[in-house]
Amino acid sequence: MKKIKLNLTHKSIALAFLILGSISCKDNSKKDAVSEENATEIGKEASSTKNFGGLALYTVRDDMGTNAKATLQAVADAGYKNIEAAGYADGKFYNMSPTDFKSLLDELDLTPVSTHQATVTLDNADAMMADVKAAGFEYFVIPIPPMGMFEYNQEKQEMGMKGSAEDLAKILDTLGEKATAVGLKLLYHNHDFEFKKNDSGEVIIDYLLENCNPDNVNFQMDLYWVTKADANPIAYFEKYPGRFKIWHVKDMDEQGRFAPVGTGKIDFKSILAKKDLSGMKYYMVEQDKTFDGMKPLEVIKTSHQGLKDIGFK
């Protein structure tokens, strides 16, 4: 096998991300304390029943950088149950150790499902995966071609990739083997360029689906970017059943911009009807950018209502 060595550049990662209360009471009797404990558990069960669906925290990244706890509380209050992180650096999630971050999520009754790890390399993968595991995540997601392969044309505002689909597949297979060995599941997240033919005539996503080992590498389908590429999500579910374990649910307005779920033109009901065929286990609302004066913490409420209206559970 050809040895792959690609350089991670801070510039490529930076460009990628540009685009891309507790109440305590003192009781005088043991009986009262037990009753209060039971009430707390009932409250948690009610919250778990009411809250559903997931949110990609990339949507509220600025708020997470300002006050992570308050933002996560707002996410839970908006009705979400699961989260996907996108804030790992220097061994920490949002400036918290993996165990501290997990404890905060536990406190707020939020479940860590997946995390985007854009800075992964073959050299740092073992340490990074240990942190992801310690934080309680199930899925390790590669959000862009790693190790300096991602590129962005600022003038054309277009994303792309250096190197071949074969190079990317080999990297993903190696990382997938590492993830499986430590009890994680590796996914690759798409944008639009993977659905278009590259200079070699390859459709990158097709090559990955056909050549990566499905025991170790599967996919997170971003429904907005598939639509942006004029591809059909359902056609991919039919051709590659069971490979798309998490969806990014984000809508598209008439101008082609990101929009809150249920307010745009993507036919989520038809896509949702093929959930089992796709292999979807979780879905995450995401909105990379907001428009018309709306704030991220506002649009996540609109999107959660949209999930209900569409029929997501």
Task: Provide the pLDDT for residue 76.
Answer: 98
Provide the strand spans (E) within the chain. Answer: 54-56, 82-85, 88-89, 92-93, 111-116, 139-142, 150-153, 158-161, 185-189, 217-222, 244-249, 251-252, 258-259, 282-285
Task: Provide the pLDDT for residue 23.
Answer: 32
pTM for the structure as a whole:
0.86
Residue 281 pLDDT level (bands cut at 50, 70, 90): very high
How far apart CA 112 and CA 265 sit, in angstroms, is: 30
Indicate the length of the chain as a whole number.
Answer: 313
> Which has the higher per-residue pLDDT, 26 or 67?
67
Q: Is the pLDDT of residue 24 over 50?
A: no
Closest alpha carbon to 151 in 188, 191, 97: 191
Give the position of tokens 């390859």.
202
Q: Is the pLDDT of residue 19 over 70?
A: no
**Residues 6+ positions from 274 with CB-CB distance below 8 Å:** 233, 234, 237, 238
246-264 confidence digits (pLDDT tens): 999 999 999 999 999 999 9
Task: Provide the pLDDT for residue 1.
Answer: 42
Phi, psi of 12 (to 5 degrees): -65, -40
How far apart CA 7 and CA 5 sit, in angstroms, is: 7
Q: Is the pLDDT of residue 28 over 70?
A: no
Residue 151 pLDDT level (bands cut at 50, 70, 90): very high
Percent residues over pLDDT 70 in the chain: 84
47-92 confidence digits (pLDDT tens): 445 899 999 999 999 999 999 999 999 999 999 999 999 999 999 9
Task: Provide the pLDDT for residue 148.
Answer: 95
Lowest mean pLDDT among 37-41, 108-112, 156-160: 37-41
Per-residue DSSP letter, 227: H
What ranges in 135-222 are assigned the alpha helix state H?
A: 165-181, 204-211
Q: At what angle do helices 68-77 and 296-310 cross, to 10 degrees?
A: 30
What tokens appear for 132 in the block?
């992801």
Q: Is the pLDDT of residue 294 over 50?
A: yes
178-235 confidence digits (pLDDT tens): 999 999 999 999 999 999 998 888 999 999 999 999 999 999 999 999 999 999 999 9
What's the chain's average pLDDT?
89
Task: Provide the pLDDT for residue 117.
Answer: 98
300: left (phi over 0), alpha (psi -120 to 50) or beta: alpha
Task: Provide the pLDDT for residue 49.
Answer: 56
Helix (H) or strand (E) holding 270: helix 268-272
How far apart CA 298 and CA 259 sit, in angstroms, is: 12
| Contact (CB, 8 A) for 113 and 84 | yes
Q: Is the pLDDT of residue 150 over 50?
A: yes
Task: Provide the pLDDT for residue 199.
Answer: 86
How far apart CA 143 and CA 155 sit, in angstroms, is: 22
Structural domains in the chain, CATH included, are 52-310 (3.20.20.150)
SS3 259: strand
Closest alpha carbon to 194 in 177, 179, 212, 215: 212
**Residues 6+ positions from 205 with CB-CB distance below 8 Å:** 190, 194, 195, 219, 236
**Residues 6+ positions from 7 with CB-CB distance below 8 Å:** 147, 148
